[in-house]
Amino acid sequence: MYKHIGELYASHDKELKALIRSRLIEWRKEPATHRINRPTRIDRARQIGYRAKQGFIVVRQRVTRGSRRKPRPTMGRKPKKMGTVKITPSRSRQWIAEERTSRKYPNLRVLGSYYIAEDGKNLWYEIILVDPAHPAIQADQRINWICDSTQKGRVFRGLTPSGKTSRGLRHRGTGAEKLRPSIRKYGRRGK
């Protein structure tokens, strides 16, 4: 069943696009960080590790698209040196969305996230959060690794799947030697 749901999203079905477009009208009115009852894309949520049980929380996060908005300097500059355009963060929008959600729910830990929708101005991601203090999570052998103290603040250290992708850790072999172990060891890569 989950395979067919994934194929439906990948096929760019016209009816599905129309449904998402109608949902965006409601999502724009919601706050940027909005807790929801169940995942919109159950196939992606389960791939990340979501289970329909106590201790799992799903949050829809909205982030702005495009480069950073910076005020134009009042004093004289060359246009090239103004520093107002093409200023982009070194992290992906998905990673930024996870960080914002984690700040909103400091007692929960981010398991992962996935893309939902976008319009001309915003991107929406759904973030899977886990409560490490919940007895149902502590008793589950598949997920209780997240209760370990080493997993505190994992999203801010780039340990989530989107964080690892932004850090370049999906590359292996020749040419990937200086990507590990950390973001800061060999300096930030230009993006």
CA gap 130, 107 in Å, rounded: 9
Tell me: the pLDDT tens digits for 101-137? 999 999 999 999 999 999 999 999 999 999 999 999 9
**Second CATH level (architecture) for the domain 2-148:** 3-Layer(aba) Sandwich (3.40)
Report whether pLDDT(187) > 90. Answer: no
Most confident residue range from 33-37, 87-91, 178-182: 33-37
Query: E strands within the chain?
Result: 33-36, 56-64, 109-118, 122-130
CA gap 63, 118 in Å, rounded: 10
pLDDT bin (cut points 50, 70, 90) of residue 79 is confident
Higher pLDDT, 174 or 57: 57
Strand partners, 124: 62, 117
Q: Please tell me the pTM assigned to this model.
A: 0.87
What are the residues whose beta carbons fall under 8 Å from the beta carbon of 36, sequence distance 6 or more?
58, 59, 60, 126
pLDDT for 190 equals 47
pLDDT for 169 equals 87
- Domains of the chain: which residue ranges? 2-148
pLDDT bin (cut points 50, 70, 90) of residue 184 is low
